[in-house]
Structure 1
Amino acid sequence: MTNTGPRARGRATAGVWPLIHTERAALAKDLIGLTEPRWGTPSLCTGLTVRDVLAHLTAGASLTPARWLAGVIRCRFDFDKQVTMRLAEQLGADGAETLERFRRAVKSTTKPPLPAIAMLGEVIVHGEDIRRPLGLRREHPITVLTSLAGYYQGADLVVMAKGRIGGLRLEATDGPFAVGSGPLVSGTTLALIMAMTGRATYLDELRGDGVAILRRRVPAPE
């Protein structure tokens, strides 16, 4: 029988934090020396620049459950307003200051009331929201991406991935991830993750009869 008690969950959580720290450090390194005009590049998150998204990641690494709840109450349970408010708190005067604030949070284990794997998803997915428009690339470890894809395929709260891929068969071409039944959607594990989390830009990297269905469920960028 698999041990899924508190101790086992605690060990699993502890194992995720080094991965989060590695991904944060890699993103910070990629952004060193970015010129101020490039900090204003639109990210894959509608309405946000790459600098805004980095500030959002810093906010997530700085927000305790108590502060998160206080913000939710302050924003009258408008979660989008809370996100905007916390982002603004971490937005430096310019790109360099915003990056420095993020670098100071690289080793943080502070988080809102989310599982640690969700925080790993935040830094990988938002990291790609930043890198892709800037023409930057990172080779994420396939074992990490496979675990994250497994998390997202069952997630339907903050990220509505489970409903988005319902009735489809997803298969990675570069790793063991596979899930579901129905029309096929195949591609790299990263492209599948980004499509599951609503990034239409990655749909062109996918193949199979299910892509047309998934395209209808993933809004095109405005």
Structure 2
Amino acid sequence: MTRSPTRQTLWSLAHAERTALADDLAGLDDAQWARPSLCGRWTVEEVVAHLTAAASVGRARWIASMVGARFDPALHNERRLAEQRGATPAQTLDRFRRVLDSTTAPSGHTAAWLGEVVVHAQDVRRPLGLERTPSVEAVTEVAGFFARRDFTVHSRRAIEGLHLEATDGPFTAGQGVPVRGTTLALTMAMAGRGAYGGDLTGPGAATLRDRCTSGR
């Protein structure tokens, strides 16, 4: 039986992915920072500010923020993002660099916070044409978490009746019609990123693509 990774291991993976993303962003110009990401209406810079916020808010402050936002997650996220966005993209990146090794999080679901950086890193890399991808080890942990439960995205619901098979690693999940792809493509699809739908193959690929679009 495969042993589950320790929380320390998951945080180490998250720190490595944050550092890789910060390195990728160092050479962006103002137009690239303002480019739309794969994450709703947020720009590249706003996604980075959101990642800084996510690594800066512990449980007590998260509860207070959600109460202040009347339990509206979108409003909570926008307020915390605004706190961490700098006057310039360079300042926004500097603030992100300060939390690269943070273990602060709203809850103890460490795999989810690893997923936060894995997914949002691709939200900015894909539109920018940046080729770097997260380690298969990191993405496998996120994929397994997403397949087991709905957390911040409806990932478990998205794969009902499907059997996911990674083509580059050990990840498999679910029972039903096969869907194949890299671990990253499967993870991003579970996170509702339709831009990765074209990277999927197998009889169930169209179903998962449709669910990315519909938000199921």
**Shared fold per TM-score greater than 0.5:** yes
1:213 and 2:207 matched: yes
Residue 120 of structure 2, aligned match among 123, 126, 146: 126
Residue 81 of structure 2, aligned match among 87, 102, 113: 87
Superposition misfits of 4+ residues, deviation over 4 angstroms:
none
CA apart distance, 1:114: 4.4
CA apart distance, 1:143: 2.0
Matched residue, 1:52: 46
Alpha-carbon distance between aligned partners in 2 of 1:132 and 1:50, rounded to the nearest angstrom: 10
Q: 1:146 to 1:161 in 2, by over 3 A?
A: same
Matched residue, 1:12: 6
Q: How many residues end up aligned between the 2 structures?
A: 215
CA apart distance, 1:171: 0.5
The TM-score, its normalising length taken from structure 2, stands at 0.94
CA apart distance, 1:219: 1.6
Out of 109-118 and 61-70, give the one that drifted further. 109-118
User: Could you give the per-residue CA deviations for residues 164-217 of structure 1, whole angstroms, max 9, x where no partner exists?
Assistant: 000001101111111112111101110000000000000001001111111221
Alpha-carbon distance between aligned partners in 2 of 1:85 and 1:162, rounded to the nearest angstrom: 28
SS in 2 for 1:102: helix
Out of 150-159 and 199-208, give the one that drifted further. 150-159
Give the counterpart letter for 2:34 in structure 1.
G
The TM-score, its normalising length taken from structure 1, stands at 0.92
Give the counterpart letter for 1:122 in structure 2.
E
Alpha-carbon distance between aligned partners in 2 of 1:26 and 1:19, rounded to the nearest angstrom: 11
Residue 171 of structure 1, aligned match among 165, 169, 181: 165
1:157 and 2:139 matched: no
8 Å CA contact retained: 1:200, 1:220: no
Give the counterpart letter for 1:113 in structure 2.
S
